[in-house]
Each structure stands twice: as C-alpha cells, then as structure tokens.
Structure 1
Amino acid sequence: MSTSTLAPVALITSEQVHEGLSMAEAVLALATALRAGLDPHAAPARGNIPLNRGSFLLMPGEFGDYAGVKILTVAPDNPAQNLPRIQGNYLLFDSHTLSPLALIDGIALTLLRTPAVSALGVDLLAAADASTLLVFGTGPQALFHVRAVAAVRPLTRVTIVGRSPERAAELVATLQAEGFTAAAGSAVDVADAQIVICCTSASEPLFDGALVRDDAVVVAMGSHDPAARETDDVLAARSRVYVEDVDTALREAGDVVIGIEHGGIDPLDLVTLSDLARNGAAPRSGPALFKSVGMGWQDLIIASALHAHRDNN
C-alpha cells in the first residue's frame, strides 16, 4: 500500500501579500482570467452567516487549477475595543485534489484585489491619457486605489475628498511622500477629474452627477448593500453602467438597484466586466459608471497569482 505526503500549507502574511504581487500584476491577473474564460456569472454567491456578535462573510471561488474561500468576520462592536471590525483569512486549494495549498492574510488580500478590480475597470474604460484622479475617502482603500490607478494611468494630479479634514490632510501627505501631486478638495472638484473613485461607507450620493465630465470614468466600490449608494440618479441616467455580474449587481449594488428603481438605468443595458475585458469598450457619449461589489472569483485569482509567484521565486 503506497502513501503520499501532502506538501505543507504555505502561510502568506500581510507583508508577503504586498511584496509578492505588484498592483500592475494583480490587474493583469484579473484581465487574463476573464479573457481565458472565467465566468463571474457562474461564481458562487457571497454567503453571510449571522453570529451572536456579528457575522461570517464567506466568498468561495474556483477556476483552473485552484479553488478557495475567503472567510471574514464582521464584528460591529470591535472598534469600541480598539479592535478591527473585519478580520479573516483566505484558504487556497488545488482544484484537482482539493488539497490545501496556502493560508493568506484576508485583509491584505482584499486590500490588493479590490483596487485591482477598480483599476482594471479604469484601464478598460478611461482614455489613454486620463491623468487627473479624484478619490472620495481617506482610509486604506483610498490610498491603495490611488496606487492602483497609477499602475494603469500616468497620474498628474490626485484630489482627496473626505469628511475629516485631518484625515484628508494625512492621506495627502502620504501621497506626496510617495511622489504624487496631491491635494485635498471638495465634491465640486469632480468637474475637473477624468477618473473618480468612491471608497466610502456612505449610503447617500457623494456628489452632483451633473458635474461629471462626459469623458470621465466613475468607479463606485464602497458597499455591497442594495440600499446604499455613492452616486446619484443624474449620473446613473447620464452613464453607461458596467458591473462585475448582472445578477450580483441586481442583488447587492445599491448604485444600480436604486438607479433602476428611479428609472435612470435599464437593467438590459448593463455591461459586464467580462464582456468589457474580452470585447473592449463601445463608444459612448457620456460618463462610464463602474459599480463593483467584490466577488469571490477576484480573491481566488489574486490568491492563485500570489501562490504561483511564490512557487516561481
């Protein structure tokens, strides 16, 4: 009787996530998977399991040689105890044997994959010379979104809009230290931005959609709640709207759900990210609005790219 020995499960820390894959490599991994036939519509839906003091978020995925699941905990009371509201890990498996391959820091993985998804949308939709970026939000996602957009477009100006002037100033200082031309601004500055990224927990629109340039790309990624949105009816009515997957958007994307309810969006006109990646962007006369809610296949692609990169180095 023969026996086989399983390889040890690799532990990929937060630092190793950020050192192991550049933002440009993450964007390319997502685009390559979509063009190779990954179908977001076939991906398992996010699971939300209630717990006594919060919930589990379960985000499974499978494609090619890999399968995996991200398990996050959401603990609303934690910030009052100076603890993270969201914690968790990603477990990557070989899809053929279902043997575990790697345990990856889930927060760092999310902080890489979410901006990479946004940057892929920007890369596919924005003009090649788009160079002015406005970001709503001052947290880690805002910082990483600037870095992500800079990986796909040559930024000449970054404007940060936040509720807290102090936090906005801190983010601006961080960006300036990294070599960006950055300044704090206000919501009306969307009129001058070729790329607008919304990275907030807002449930109501952040700016007047009438101010947005016709050639602008707006990315809204702040929530996966059908009752919350960062953009308004005016922008919805003016824009061609792109989503990761239609059914997922109709279930989770408030910017889309409310836009449809208010008559600004026709669900039949929604364009998927996979169609965009495979066929390119069709000509449009107004802004592009890309609404992202985050899906398990995205974590899988970035996790498998991290694992493959480790194996090759």
Structure 2
Amino acid sequence: MSGPDAPPRLDGAEVLRRLTPAAAVEALAAVLRDGLDPEACPPRSAVPVPAGELLLMPAAAGDWAGVKIAGVAPGNAARGLPRITGSYLLLDGTTLQPAALLDGAALTALRTPAVSALAVRHLAPDDRPLRLVVFGSGPQAYGHLEALLAVRKLASATVVARDRDRAAALAAHALALGVPEARTGTAEEVDGADLVVCCTTARTPLFDGRRVAPGAVVVAVGSHEPDARETDTALVRRAEVYVEARAAALREAGDLLIPEAEGAIGPGHITGTLADLVRGPAPLAPTGAPRLFKSVGMAWEDLAVAVAVHRAAPA
C-alpha cells in the first residue's frame, strides 16, 4: 500500500517502541474485562506451503477489526532470517477502512509474552521473587523475560537451550534487566522452579513433568499443532490447566490433545480460561498441584495489542 491515503506503516522497531510489555498485558486484560468472548473468536486458517506454513488470523471487536497474515518458515534460521514473518492490517471497525499496517513478527513477539504474563499475574504467587526456568533462547524467550518482569519479581533465571552461546546471551540479558542471578542450566532444574516457561520449536516434551514442584506454574507457548507439545502427559495429568479458550485449545493444543488421546485425561480436564482469571474471582489457594497455562495464540490477542500500538503516541 502506498500513496497519500495509505495507512501508516509501523515497522518492527516502531511497534516495540510504542508499546511496553506492561502496556500490552493491560491491553489484553482490558478487552477481557470489557466482555470480549475468546470462545467466539474465528479459528485460525493454516495453509501448508513449501517454506512451512501460512496462517490467516482475522478478528473483530468493538470499534476495530484486523487480520494477521503470518508465515512460519523453519528453514529461515539457516538463512539468518526470522522464523516468524508477516503483517497485520488494522481496520476501522465501522467502515473497514485500513487504519495501520504493522510488522506481524514484532506484533507476535509482543503479544505472545503479554498473554503469558497476564496468566502469570493471576496464577503465580506475588509474595516473593520467583525462580524462573526458561526453555528457549529465541525472540520469544527474550520477550517472555521482559514481560514476566512487568508482572513479577524474579529471584533467578535459568536458561535451557540447545545452543549454549545463545543460552548464555539470554542469561546475560536477564542480568542486565536486573535479575539477581541468571545462568544456563539443564532440564532437570525444573524441580527447583516456581515458574517454568517453554517457548521453543520442540515437538516432544522438554522435561519430566513429575519433577515440577507442587504449586509451580508452567507456561507453554511454543506450538499450536495437535501433534506437537512441549509438556508431557505426567505434568498435564497432575496439573490445574488454564487456556486462552477451550475451543481453541481443543482444536490445536497438542499438550492437551495428546494426553487425551492416550486416555490420561478427559475433555473436562481444563480448569479455566484466561477470561475466567481476569474477570475473577481469583483461583483458590494452591491445591498442591502445579498450574499449567497452555497458549496457542489467538487472533483477538493480536487485535487488542495492535489497537493499543496504533493508539500509542510514538515514543
């Protein structure tokens, strides 16, 4: 789009300059408090293409509508290119005239951690700094670290990743952000964590779910495919499970669908949704079970954050 009537184009740097992680968390909470129903959100369309997968994610709410066209290209890493690509077209909800065109990868890098942080704000204790274990060392791992610091204090951060240099770089970034202790580690260290965050491209479980401590919170965001998962059946079976929306999770969340196919859990195993958490009442005191928040990513989240970016004055 070009010409005098073209909507403003916001590149990745501008998207991230305009909206802080804390503001993105609040944008999501606000639309849920205002009554948005994630269960009514249109399903994601996924089209296999030679490079990977093309995703189409439309949504409408209130005075706004929008659509994200995203690409997932696993081979891009070897080319030095981002794995996630795409654009977001924000539309005026009354006229459907274009209002802004945003970098889709930056929007995803902002909204996915914000969704996780919103869940953590309601599920994790706030009476002490938390010991974090994060799986992954890519953009989502960086985004999650910053978003989590917007809602909770961290006592330590342990990074578990295949690439040791990238893991060390993320640990150094955590120290620069003010985390008192940060280092690389191993999957076995989930047994000492208050909070475990999984943001990887793994298709099989990253750790033994029996090692997760009672009352700990696990967040899994890395996959939206029925045959891929980052957490194992042992964790899912013993955990209180929260999701963005039941319909989306039961379509796409391999972390839940695989244990269900195994007969380990039933379709009623989900404890609650993000909207339940935001609208309250707050969850009961810890039952001794871990709490798992499984996110697949939904179009309403992109819309909420894109609107907040559009409304924010340039920094």
* TM-score bracket for the superposition, by shorter chain length: over 0.9
Tell me: CA distance 1:233–1:54, structure 2 relative to 1, closer, same or farther (3 Å). closer
Deviation at 1:310, TM superposition (A): 3.0
Q: Deviations over 1:83-116 (max 9, x none)?
A: 3343211000011111110000111100000000
- Which structure 1 residue ranges, 5 or more long, are not aligned? 1-5
3-state DSSP of counterpart to 2:142: helix
Letter in 2 for 1:299: D
Letter in 1 for 2:204: E
CA distance in 2, matches of 1:254, 1:45: 16
Question: Corresponding residue for 1:267?
Answer: 267
1:118-197 matched pairs, under 5 angstroms: 118-129=116-127, 130-180=129-179, 181-197=181-197
Deviation at 1:227, TM superposition (A): 0.7
Question: Corresponding residue for 1:3?
Answer: none
Deviation at 1:266, TM superposition (A): 2.7
Question: Corresponding residue for 1:199?
Answer: 199
| Aligned with residue 294 of structure 2, among 267, 291, 294 | 291
Letter in 2 for 1:30: L
Deviation at 1:119, TM superposition (A): 0.5
Deviation at 1:120, TM superposition (A): 0.7
Q: Is 1:209 aligned to residue 203 of structure 2?
A: no
Question: Corresponding residue for 2:244?
Answer: 244
Q: Deviations over 1:194-244 (max 9, x none)?
A: 111001111111111111111111001110011111111111111011111
CA distance in 2, matches of 1:113, 1:147: 12
CA distance in 2, matches of 1:133, 1:54: 32
| Aligned with residue 300 of structure 1, among 300, 303, 308 | 303
Tell me: CA distance 1:238–1:178, structure 2 relative to 1, closer, same or farther (3 Å). same
Letter in 1 for 2:299: G
The two structures, once aligned, show a CA RMSD in angstroms of 1.8
Letter in 1 for 2:274: L
Name the count of aligned residue pairs.
Answer: 307
3-state DSSP of counterpart to 1:277: helix
Q: Is 1:69 aligned to residue 67 of structure 2?
A: yes
Letter in 2 for 1:10: P
Q: Using structure 1 for the length normalisation, give the TM-score.
A: 0.93
3-state DSSP of counterpart to 1:158: strand
3-state DSSP of counterpart to 1:156: strand
Deviation at 1:182, TM superposition (A): 0.8
Where do 4+ consecutive residues of structure 1 move more than 6 Å? Answer: none
CA distance in 2, matches of 1:80, 1:166: 16
Question: Corresponding residue for 1:92?
Answer: 90
CA distance in 2, matches of 1:49, 1:205: 25
Tell me: CA distance 1:77–1:220, structure 2 relative to 1, closer, same or farther (3 Å). closer
| Aligned with residue 101 of structure 1, among 99, 102, 108 | 99
Q: Deviations over 1:43-95 (max 9, x none)?
A: 11111134454442111111111100011123444444443343211000011
3-state DSSP of counterpart to 2:312: helix
Question: Corresponding residue for 2:283?
Answer: 281
Tell me: CA distance 1:206–1:79, structure 2 relative to 1, closer, same or farther (3 Å). closer
3-state DSSP of counterpart to 1:310: coil
Report % sequence identity. Answer: 51
Letter in 1 for 2:304: I
Letter in 1 for 2:160: V
Tell me: CA distance 1:178–1:249, structure 2 relative to 1, closer, same or farther (3 Å). same
Letter in 2 for 1:256: L
Residues 266-275 or 192-201, more deviating? 266-275
Letter in 1 for 2:105: I
- Which structure 2 residue ranges, 5 or more long, are not aligned? none
Tell me: CA distance 1:84–1:170, structure 2 relative to 1, closer, same or farther (3 Å). same
| Aligned with residue 111 of structure 2, among 113, 118, 127 | 113
